[in-house]
Amino acid sequence: MLAVDRQARDGRCRSALRDDYGTVHGGRFMHPMVKPALRRGWRDRNTVQFGVAPAHAMLLGPVDTATGSFLELLDGTRGLLLLREEARRMGLPDGHADAVVDRLAGAGLLDDATGGGPAADALRRKEAVLDRLRPDLASLSLVTCEPGGAMAGLAARRSLHVQVRGAGRVGAALAATLAGAGVGRVEVVDGGCVEPWDVAPGGLPAESVGERRDAAARRVVRGAAPDRPPRRATRPCSDDAEPGLALVVLAPRDGLAAYVPDPAAAERFVASGTPHLYVGVLEGTGVVGPLVLPGETGCAGCMERARMDRDPAWPRLLAQWRSGRGRRVPACDLALSGAVAGLAAAHALAFLDGRPPSSAGARWEVSLPGLDWHARPVWAHPACPCGAMDRAKREHSSADGGRHETMAEQQPPTESGRQGHPARLSGTWRAHV
C-alpha cells in the first residue's frame, strides 16, 4: 500500500481537488502524470526513488508490484475514469487509484497534462512555441506543487513586460535569456552604438558593431524569443517608469552604477512601486541584486546611506568615481559577465513566477579568481525615504506580539495527528535522499 507523509516538501504542496466524481483540477478531470523531469529508479524491490539531486529527490515505499505497474500508467494520456478501470483490471481495490493520485499530488510529484487554464490551453495550441519551451516547463514543474501549475506559470510569463536598462555584455545576454524563457515582452533601453567590446556570446553579435545599441538588442531579443509578442505602436523610449512593468533590470555597461547605484536614478521606480534588480560587473567582481521591492526591501538609497555611515570618506570617493575622468574600456570578463547574466535572469524569472529570490533584500557578489558567490544583506535605512524601514518596524512589532502563535503554526503535526488521517495508508516519503 501507498501513503504520503505530508511533511514532504515542507508542507507547501496541496492535495488535488476532489468532488463526487473523483480528482479534478480547474473544473475538469485531470490527466495525471508523474513529473517527467524527475528520473525514476528502484532502490530495491519495494522502494522507488523519484529524482537524482537531493533538492527534489523523494522516496516512495513500500510499493507492491501492482501499484508499481499502476505508476507506469500515470503518463498524462489517461483521465481518472480510465485509470480507475485500469486499476481494477490490475486487481487493485476500489479507491486505490484515487488514493495514489491524491498522495502523489499532495507530495508535489504529480502534474496535469491538461491543466493550467485557458492561457495554458492557448500555449498548447502553439506546438512549435511549446517545443522551444519544454525544458523550461520541465524545470518549472520541479518548483510548482499544484498539478498544472507549471504550465499555468509558463503561460503567465507571456503576458509580462520586463525592461532591461543596459545593452552591454551583461544586459543584452540577460534580455535574450528572459525572452528565450518565455517572457512575452522584453524591452531593452540603451543609447549610443555597439562597440566591439559589447559583443558577447548570447548577447550582441559581432555583425552589430556600429549599429544603435537599442536596435541591435531588440533584434537579439526577437531572435531568442520562441514567438513574437503582439505588435505594439512604436514609440521612443522614455526615462520614466512605464505602467504595467513587472520588473526593471538595471544592467549598466559601467558596472559602477550597479555596484554603487545612484539613488536618484531609481527614484521614479521607487515612487511608482516598480520592482527593480541591479546587475553588473565592476572590475573583477560581479553583482546580482538587490532586488528592490519598493516600500518593502532596502533600496539604493539605503545602501548608500549605510555605506556613508560606515565610511566617512565614501561621498568623496563616489564623487570622483562618478565623474568619469580618465575612463577607459571597463573590465568585464566574458565568462564572469555570462555567469552574472545567467544568475540574474534566474532571479528575475523566480520573481516573475511569484517566488521572491534570495536577492530580495540582499546582493550576491562573486569575484575573480576564486569565483565564490556570497550574499550581503541590504538593510532598510532609517534615514531613507523609501519606506522600507517603516515596514520593517511594523513587522517587528507584529512578530513580537504573535511569536507564540507563529511558532505553533510552524510546528510539525504530531504523530497521533498523522495517524488520525482517515485516508492514511502505510508507507514513507522522504524529502531528501
Percent of the chain with pLDDT over 70: 79
pLDDT top residue among 24 and 121: 121
Q: Are residues 142 and 171 in the same domain?
A: no
In a domain, 402, yes or no: no
Mean pLDDT, residues 398-409 = 43
What distances in angstroms separate CA 95 from CA 20, 81, 85, 108, 428, one per listed residue? 12, 11, 11, 20, 20
Task: Show the cell assigned to 5.
Answer: 507523509
- Which residues, including other chains, have CB under 8 Å from residue 310's CB and lie 6 or more apart? none
pLDDT value of position 14: 43
What distances in angstroms separate CA 128 from CA 118, 134, 143, 227, 328, one per listed residue? 18, 10, 24, 9, 45
Q: Are residues 145 and 180 in the same domain?
A: no
pLDDT top residue among 104 and 397: 104
**Are the C-beta atoms of residues 46 and 32 closer than 8 Å to each other?**
no
pLDDT top residue among 241 and 161: 161
Mean pLDDT, residues 135-154 = 94
Q: Is pLDDT above 60 for 333?
A: yes
Indicate the burial class of 357 (C-beta count within 10 angstroms; 0-12, 13-18, 19 or more).
Answer: buried
In a domain, 418, yes or no: no
pLDDT value of position 397: 58
Domain of 43: which CATH number?
3.90.930.60
- Distance (Å, rounded) from C-alpha 340 to C-alpha 223? 21
pLDDT value of position 90: 93
Q: Is pLDDT above 90 for 416?
A: no
**Are the C-beta atoms of residues 58 and 425 closer than 8 Å to each other?**
no
Percent of the chain with pLDDT over 90: 72
Q: How many domains does the structure of the chain reveal?
A: 2
Structural domain including 187 reads 160-228+240-392
Quickly count: other Cβ atoms within 10 Å of residue 249's Cβ. 27
- Distance (Å, rounded) from C-alpha 319 to C-alpha 230? 44
In tens, the pLDDT along 78-91 reads 999 999 999 999 99
Q: Is pLDDT above 70 for 298?
A: yes
Last residue of a domain, one of 119, 153, 187: 153
Name the one residue in this structure whose C-alpha cell is 513529473: 35
- Distance (Å, rounded) from C-alpha 204 to C-alpha 200? 6
Q: Are residues 304 and 169 in the same domain?
A: yes
Q: How confident is the model at residue 103 (pLDDT cuts 50, 70, 90)?
A: confident
pLDDT value of position 234: 44
Q: What is the distance, to the nearest Å, from the Cα of residue 23 to the centroid of all Cα atoms in its chain? A: 28
Q: Are residues 220 and 366 in the same domain?
A: yes
Q: Is pLDDT above 70 for 370?
A: yes
Three-state secondary-structure class, residue 82: helix
Q: Are residues 129 and 191 in the same domain?
A: no
pLDDT value of position 325: 66
Mean pLDDT, residues 229-258 = 74
pLDDT value of position 229: 67
32: β partners: 112
Q: What is the distance, to the nearest Å, from the Cα of residue 291 to the centroid of all Cα atoms in its chain? A: 13
Three-state secondary-structure class, residue 290: strand
Q: Are residues 220 and 365 in the same domain?
A: yes
pTM score = 0.84
Q: What is the dihedral of CA 186, 191, 192, 198, to 10 degrees?
A: -50
pLDDT value of position 423: 30
Average pLDDT along the chain: 84
Q: Are residues 141 and 252 in the same domain?
A: no
Name the one residue in this structure whose C-alpha cell is 540582499: 362
Q: What is the distance, to the nearest Å, from the Cα of residue 329 to the centroid of all Cα atoms in its chain? A: 33
Q: Is pLDDT above 50 for 430?
A: no
Q: Is pLDDT above 60 for 292?
A: yes
Q: Is pLDDT above 70 for 48?
A: yes
pLDDT top residue among 25 and 74: 74
Q: Are residues 199 and 264 in the same domain?
A: yes
Question: Of 24-38, 154-168, 326-340, where does the model show the most confidence?
Answer: 154-168
Q: Are residues 211 and 286 in the same domain?
A: yes
- Encode 349-361 in three state secondary structure: HHHHCCCCCCCEC
Specify the DSSP class assigned to residue 207. G
Q: Are residues 165 and 126 in the same domain?
A: no
- Distance (Å, rounded) from C-alpha 366 to C-alpha 281? 9
Last residue of a domain, one of 153, 173, 188: 153
- Distance (Å, rounded) from C-alpha 131 to C-alpha 127? 6
Q: How confident is the model at residue 129 (pLDDT cuts 50, 70, 90)?
A: very high
Domain of 376: which CATH number?
3.40.50.720
Mean pLDDT, residues 326-350 = 93
Q: Are residues 371 and 260 in the same domain?
A: yes
